[in-house]
Amino acid sequence: MPAPRPLQFILDGELVSIPEPTATLTVLQYLRDVAGRCGTKEGCAEGDCGACTVVLGEAAPGGAIHYSAINSCIRFLPTLDGRELVTVESLAGPDDTPHPVQQAMVDQHASQCGFCTPGFVMSLFGLYLNRSDPDRAQLLEALSGNLCRCTGYRPILDAGLAMGSYAEPARWSREDAQSAARRARLEPLVSAPALVTGDGCYFAPKNIEQLAARYAAAPDSLLLAGGTDIGLWVTQGLRELPPLIWLGEVRELRRIRADEQGLWIGAGVTITEAWPALLQHWPEFAEQADRFASRPIRNSATLCGNLANGSPIGDSLPALLALDAVLELRCGEQERALPLSRFYIDYRKNALARGEFVTGVRIPHRHADDQVASYKVARRHDQDISAVATTFRVRVMDGVVTEARLAYGGMAATAKRATVAEHQLTGRPWTLASIALAQAALPADFQPLTDMRASGEYRLRIAAALLERFWREMNGEAVRLPAAPVAAMEQES
Amino acid sequence: MSVGQALPHDSALLHVTGRAQYTDDIPLPPGTLHAAFGVSPVAHGMLQALDLAPVLASPGVVAVATSADIPGENNYGGAVHDDPVFAERELCYTGQPVFAVAARTHEQARRAVRAARMQIDEQPAILDIRTALAQEAFVLPTQRAQRGEPHAAIAGAPRRLSGSLTIGGQDHFYLEGQVAAAVPQDDGGLHVYSSTQHPSECQAIVAHVLGVPANHIVVSCRRMGGGFGGKESQPALIAAAAAVLARRTGRPVKLRLDRDADMIITGKRHDFIADYETGFDETGRILGLAVMLASRCGYSADLSGPINDRAMFHIDNAYFIEHLAIVSHRCRTHTVSNTAFRGFGGPQGMMVIEAIIDEIARALGKDPLEVRQRNYYGGSGRDVTHYGQRITDNPIGTITSRLVASSDYHARRAAVARGNAAGGTIRRGIALTPVKFGISFTSTQYNQAGALLQIYTDGSVLLNHGGTEMGQGLHVKVTQVVAAELGLPLSAIRITATDTSKVPNTSATAASAGTDLNGMAAKAAAATLRERLVGFAADFYSVAPEQITIADGLVTIDTKQMPFSQLAREAYTARIPLSATGYYRTPDIHWDKHSWSGRPFYYFAWGAAVSEVALDTLTGESRLLRLDILHDVGSSLNPAIDIGQVEGGFLQGMGWLTSEKLWWDAQGRLRTHAPSTYKIPTARDWPAEAHVALLAAAPNPEATIHRSKAVGEPPLMLAISVFQALRDAVASCGTPGARVELEAPATPEALLDALRRIRSAT
């Protein structure tokens, strides 16, 4: 490991250097309790309400700075290393002129109690820096992680629609956000050696060799990717964590590659970055992508983290199970590939060996005869954990199902395929009658639990109902609720 | 004139820049300690032994406090003294505070409480309303109200039906959790910063708990991050516990509940069940109605008495029910003690009658709107409520007809029916529901308010009143009133934290009455000062008082003009007092709880909404597609603020009736205690098409503040239209006349259950 050095990041144009950061101190705790910046609020300390939203700027390849809104309440402070932190206090102009995002919120009467407001301002600000003229769907996507209990949201949406029409501010215009001065402040930080804290409790390897060597040497360390679950172990579970190894700086793991074997997504790629790549090949996932957690969670969380975490209610799991995805694993110098369908052993237990980690996930090419749909059923459209999530893929040739993948989350201790039902469908004509046979087989595949989200009985009923929805949708029927604008997922500029 | 203008919230700029200071943001002296509660792990049990030695030994811990450490009375119940700050022997719900710890940091306190060792003799627990009813476990005596001969009227009616309705509770989910900081003063006093809708009660309870006179305690609150009723009685618990620890350690103590603790420890909206029987005629007119209401009050009374009373008061909603009997049970359960929540029992009462009206309409094959209109108050002999209050101002006919036209209700209803008849898995539903909501505290004594207004010699004005700001825009409205009265620009008036040392003995900012009461009190204070100043100027300049005007900060005395600051300075020099109090009590209201009759409400606020929904009949998922609202706020003091209350209230009500499900497990543990499991609406739930309007040219006939009407609570109940629209969509899957059995909240699972029932009955 490199020698310990201070954590360094930029805040309001100044270098902040913290010699001995606590590995699990959250950005929110730092802001409120250490820096005395109380504009950023704690509403839930679990990444579900957005009152703590801040924006992070990161030097991206090619000279741009990439800005994204994240939940500061579950983000550990050392992960700010080499980045620019932007909080609600940062936005006003040199003469205290409010930023257009702030002025639009005032002009539209978009705050009542005001407690959620800094979070909304920062989510809108993240959107403002990335889009000059957002539409309603993009606004909803950007605000999917922010709860307001007072306004009914209408004036906040109106503020978002209006913010682009204000004069460019002196500070934090889109141009200023990409200025050479900002880039120049970040660059020396980015080129610093990998961060190791003095207590050894945090290490952010910069390349895969550093990672592999360290994890092999210290296999009791905890691998941290987006931290959107691990953060809660600390803020909710009050757990003491083993030394952390952060994947967010490992350059090889932040890549997305398409080649003859399919699509490869590295273990450091965020959900926000991963979906557009997937949607290029599987546009059927558009609604699933839009409904996956929330924008600030997607900006922190990684696709492979969702897979490796292995929660039975992780929404990407059924999708990648249905696509026959393969995990690529590494342990020290040893590498192997493992089909995702063989990765999950039991509740939160997986096939990783001690010291082994996921480097990426490979998703095979699409077959021309594949029909795919992905559904999520939850109490709320946005930012909700699924009662049931599914992805179905059937290959239909000459009216006959030649291959069926019926993958479910929320139905068992792990995400899993309904192999009995798949078997029922395979080789049969692609008809509602065959669907009925698959539906009848589901109780042999699943005996779901009852909890606060749904009863087991309801889960089983909709697991079957979604098969019917799948068939009807593939046959051209309108089966989705109208008027839920879904943002087109594309890479933001 | 500032009154009537769509002015921004007084703190809007502070909100958006992050400068607005909430209780947790207030800088406290070095050495401030942070507290956390240790709580009961069981729903019901007897505490045999409590070992806090491991807690005291935890890192950072400075002190612990239990019931034995309370110098005064161990109670924070305002009405009935049945709410211990710390449980003594009997543990009454999972999450009930048993002790508190003060530590150097918030995290240390949270960690330390988990080290407590409790020996508990677990007892059987009552966890739901039906069980409490069967055991006759009540926190307060059952109330009954009757008019006419309902049972005979039902028996003799051409048509009858009976049924039940289950209505869920609701967590407030104010974004700012409960928090208080108690700072000892040098003379034995205590300053408490509290996020509270009721500083005076908080002050009284802290004084009682500490065993000191009320004049030793100051409670102040500049703003809350949302209240919604959840910070009416509950903050006294937080403040009292912080005060006990501050007294014990001699150091400032802050107690901030994290979200999970907040949701587990503090009360919620009461869930209700209703059993009803009604008789009606072929036109849909209700001839007689008998209703049993039962609510889950939790382990103690709290505000359950007036909340359940208000459910009884609003069982009629906008309908004249000549023969009516109501029985209201206030059930004791081993769950958290439920409390005030926007609407205060009214919404639950209205839900019942709206479901009954809908059932009658379906039984008769009529448009439910027709049955609603058939039963509206109005016409000779049909204008007196079941509690004897005459309805003198009734715009519901006007509101309904305007809304029917503006929403194109009839054509859309026909289109919905046509679409549903064509089949498919996605169905639609549409409904119009009215709201009539009584304005005043039903406990007459609370309908009073005070204000303190101070003019400084530079002409600047400092305003203080007894109301609290929780986001509803009370402060900007009261400032507008004072600005208008004094003839000053809004910028000349500064409003400060609500503070029990400035205006004493205030009522909770609740019952939608904040502006009605405090606006009038502040207006009275302003009028006093204005009269003094004008009287002084008339003397000083030897002109008649009528020749003096003050407008936009400019004083005109006959032909002479001067800035207001000059008048203030001259008045001071002449030794004219420049501060005044104002006071107001609501006139004409009275209530006799023994005969259950009187005029409990000064007036009614009215409104109506049309909601159109889509329902996925495969999964039970639903979505609000279009919303039309016409709401009566009298002459609006501030249309921007009022629209905000209408829209926000509506969506909060929609959350209550659709996605916000509270779920306790078989051991009585609340399992929906965080936003990950408890789902309030998000931005996407606001419908893509919405038309929200205030009823125009409708000044309040009563002499309220500038003829405005209260707006805090009534709009929440506009959301009943969503629930009724969902019933309409479910009905499309049954044969005509089939009953819709849908419980609230109408989650996807509840809707799929209702669909299954109507299909199997068909």
Nearest to B18 among A43, A118, A479 (CB): A118
How close does chain A come to B573, measured CA to CA in Å? 38
> Which residue ranges form the domains of chain B, and what is each CATH number?
12-124+172-265 (3.90.1170.50), 272-442+593-760 (3.30.365.10), 448-585 (3.30.365.10)
The interface residues of chain B toward chain A in range 395-414, judged by CB-CB distance below 8 A, are none
Test A106 with B663 for CB contact under 8 angstroms.
Answer: no
How close does chain B come to A439, measured CA to CA in Å? 13
Give the CA-trace dihedral at B722, B726, B727, B730, to 10 degrees: 170
Contacts of A98 in chain B (CB under 8 A): 13, 16-17
Instruction: Assess contact for B65 and B248: CB atoms under 8 A.
Output: yes
How far is it, in rounded angstroms, from Cα A485 to Cα B612?
17
Does the pLDDT of residue A1 top 90, yes or no? no
At residue B708, the pLDDT reads 98
Q: What are the domain boundaries of chain A?
A: 7-89+177-246, 92-171, 251-363, 370-474
How far is it, in rounded angstroms, from Cα B38 to Cα B112?
9
pLDDT in tens, A415-430: 999 999 999 999 999 9
Task: Please indicate if any CB of chain B lies within 8 Å of the CB of A88.
Answer: yes
pLDDT in tens, A288-309: 999 999 999 999 999 999 999 9
Token duo for residue A357:
């980690």
What is the share, in percent, of chain A residues with pLDDT greater than 90? 95
Active-site choice (B176, B612, B713, B743): B713
The whole-number average pLDDT for the span A170-184 is 97
Contacts of A387 in chain B (CB under 8 A): 748-749
How far is it, in rounded angstroms, from Cα A120 to Cα A159?
10
Give the CA-trace dihedral at A196, A200, A204, A206, to 10 degrees: 60
Listed in sequence order, the residues at least 6 apart from A398 whose beta carbon sits closer than 8 Å to its beta carbon are: none
Interface test mutation site (partner B, options A139, A156, A379, max chain B beta carbons within 10 A):
A379
For residue B211, count other CB atoms closer than 10 A to its CB: 12
Task: Please indicate if any CB of chain A lies within 8 Å of the CB of B650.
Answer: yes
User: Is CATH 3.30.70.1560 correct for A251-363?
Assistant: no
For chain B, give the number of residues: 762
User: What is the number of alpha carbons within 13 Å of residue B729 lying toward its C-beta?
Assistant: 32
Task: Please indicate if any CB of chain A lies within 8 Å of the CB of B759.
Answer: no
What single letter denotes the amino acid at residue B615?
A: L
Bridge partners, residue B398, by sequence? none
The whole-number average pLDDT for the span B696-710 is 97
Q: How confident is the model at residue B762 (pLDDT cuts 50, 70, 90)?
A: low
Instruction: Assess contact for B340 and B230: CB atoms under 8 A.
Output: yes
Backbone phi, psi, residue B165, to 5°: -140, 135
By C-alpha distance, the chain A residue nearest B18 is A39
Task: Please indicate if any CB of chain A lies within 8 Å of the CB of B59.
Answer: no
How close does chain B come to A49, measured CA to CA in Å? 7
Listed in sequence order, the residues at least 6 apart from B212 whose beta carbon sits closer than 8 Å to its beta carbon are: B72, B188
Nearest to B647 among A121, A154, A481 (CB): A154
Token duo for residue B431:
């409904």
Nearest to B425 among A45, A384, A479 (CB): A479
Test B683 with A468 for CB contact under 8 angstroms.
Answer: no
pLDDT in tens, B384-434: 999 999 999 999 999 999 999 999 999 999 999 999 999 999 999 999 999
CA distances in angstroms from A361 to A311, A316, B117, listed in the order given: 17, 12, 47
Q: Could you please state the CATH topology (level 3) that the domain comprising A7-89+177-246 is classified under.
A: Ubiquitin-like (UB roll) (3.10.20)
Test B425 with A477 for CB contact under 8 angstroms.
Answer: yes
Task: Please indicate if any CB of chain B lies within 8 Å of the CB of A73.
Answer: no
At residue A482, the pLDDT reads 86
- Largest pairwise CA distance in chain B: 88
Q: What does the DSSP 8-state code read for residue B31?
A: T
Test B679 with A113 for CB contact under 8 angstroms.
Answer: no
Task: Please indicate if any CB of chain A lies within 8 Å of the CB of B20.
Answer: yes
pLDDT in tens, B295-351: 999 999 999 999 999 999 999 999 999 999 999 999 999 999 999 999 999 999 999
The whole-number average pLDDT for the span B80-93 is 97
CA distances in angstroms from B42 to B94, B100, B120, B340, listed in the order given: 5, 17, 8, 25
Nearest to A483 among B224, B473, B688 (CB): B688
Test A381 with B685 for CB contact under 8 angstroms.
Answer: yes
Test A109 with B686 for CB contact under 8 angstroms.
Answer: no
Interface test mutation site (partner B, options A115, A377, A390, A462, max chain B beta carbons within 10 A):
A115
Token duo for residue A488:
């087109």
Contacts of A39 in chain B (CB under 8 A): 17-19
Q: How confident is the model at residue B79 (pLDDT cuts 50, 70, 90)?
A: confident
By C-alpha distance, the chain B residue nearest A238 is B111
pLDDT in tens, A462-493: 999 999 999 999 999 999 998 655 565 555 44
How close does chain A come to B118, measured CA to CA in Å? 20
At residue A339, the pLDDT reads 98
What percent of chain B is helix, strand and coil (3-state, nearest 5)?
35, 25, 40
For chain A, give the number of residues: 493
Task: Please indicate if any CB of chain A lies within 8 Å of the CB of B173.
Answer: yes
Token duo for residue A67:
């800005």
List, in sequence order, every beta strand (DSSP E) within B565-687.
579-585, 590-592, 597-599, 603-616, 622-631
B713 a catalytic residue: yes
pLDDT in tens, A85-123: 999 999 999 999 999 999 999 999 999 999 999 999 999
At residue B227, the pLDDT reads 98
Q: Which residues of B650-662 are buried (b: 16+ CB within 10 A; e: fewer)?
A: bbbbbbbbbbbbb
H-state helical runs in A432-483: 432-445, 456-474
CA distances in angstroms from B608 to A49, B362, B576, B629, listed in the order given: 31, 21, 50, 6
Q: What does the DSSP 8-state code read for residue B510?
A: -
Contacts of B688 in chain A (CB under 8 A): 136, 483, 485
List, in sequence order, every beta strand (DSSP E) within B126-158.
138-147
Q: The whole model's pTM is what? A: 0.98
* Nearest of B38, B42, B69, B67 to residue B54 by alpha carbon: B38
Residue matched to tokens 């004084």 = B207
At residue A493, the pLDDT reads 41
At residue A133, the pLDDT reads 92
Test A153 with B472 for CB contact under 8 angstroms.
Answer: no
At residue B86, the pLDDT reads 98
At residue B370, the pLDDT reads 98
Question: According to the 3-state scheme, what is the secondary structure of B172-221?
Answer: CCCCCCCEEEEEECCCCCEEEEECCCCHHHHHHHHHHHHCCCHHHEEEEE
| DSSP H or E segment with residue B272 | strand B272-280
How far is it, in rounded angstroms, from Cα B481 to Cα B755?
52
At residue A489, the pLDDT reads 54
H-state helical runs in B266-367: 304-313, 346-364
What single letter denotes the amino acid at residue B416?
A: V
By C-alpha distance, the chain B residue nearest A464 is B618
Contacts of B472 in chain A (CB under 8 A): 112
Nearest to B683 among A45, A103, A153 (CB): A153
A370-474 falls under which CATH superfamily?
A: CO dehydrogenase flavoprotein, C-terminal domain (3.30.390.50)
By C-alpha distance, the chain A residue nearest B683 is A153
Interface test mutation site (partner B, options A120, A141, A149, max chain B beta carbons within 10 A):
A149
Q: What does the DSSP 8-state code read for residue A30?
A: I
Q: How confident is the model at residue B567 (pLDDT cuts 50, 70, 90)?
A: very high
Contacts of B652 in chain A (CB under 8 A): 149, 152
Test B686 with A236 for CB contact under 8 angstroms.
Answer: no
How far is it, in rounded angstroms, from Cα B666 to Cα A79?
41
How far is it, in rounded angstroms, from Cα A463 to Cα B541?
86
Task: Please indicate if any CB of chain B lies within 8 Å of the CB of A35.
Answer: no
At residue A222, the pLDDT reads 98
Test A106 with B13 for CB contact under 8 angstroms.
Answer: yes
pLDDT in tens, B725-739: 999 999 999 999 999
* Nearest of A435, A377, A476 to residue B752 by alpha carbon: A377
Token duo for residue B302:
């709290």
Task: Please indicate if any CB of chain A lies within 8 Å of the CB of B110.
Answer: yes
The interface residues of chain A toward chain B in range 356-395, judged by CB-CB distance below 8 A, are 377-385, 387
Q: How confident is the model at residue B499 (pLDDT cuts 50, 70, 90)?
A: very high
Task: Please indicate if any CB of chain B lies within 8 Å of the CB of A52.
Answer: no
pLDDT in tens, B511-555: 999 999 999 999 999 999 999 999 999 999 999 999 999 999 999
User: What is the number of alpha carbons within 13 Å of residue A281 lying toward its C-beta?
Assistant: 20
Task: Please indicate if any CB of chain A lies within 8 Å of the CB of B620.
Answer: yes
How close does chain A come to B647, measured CA to CA in Å? 5
A92-171 falls under which CATH superfamily?
A: [2Fe-2S]-binding domain (1.10.150.120)
Task: Please indicate if any CB of chain B lies within 8 Å of the CB of A354.
Answer: no
The whole-number average pLDDT for the span A154-174 is 97
Give the CA-trace dihedral at B173, B177, B178, B182, to 10 degrees: -170
Strands A202-204 and A244-246: what pairing? parallel
How close does chain A come to B112, measured CA to CA in Å? 10
How far is it, in rounded angstroms, from Cα B379 to Cα B390?
12
| DSSP H or E segment with residue A281 | helix A271-281
Give the CA-trace dihedral at B376, B379, B380, B386, to 10 degrees: 20
Test A452 with B473 for CB contact under 8 angstroms.
Answer: no
Test B640 with A109 for CB contact under 8 angstroms.
Answer: yes
* Nearest of B192, B220, B226 to residue B206 by alpha carbon: B192
Task: Please indicate if any CB of chain B lies within 8 Å of the CB of A111.
Answer: yes
SS3 of residue B597 by DSSP: strand
How close does chain A come to B430, measured CA to CA in Å? 15
Task: Please indicate if any CB of chain B lies within 8 Å of the CB of A478.
Answer: yes
At residue A490, the pLDDT reads 55
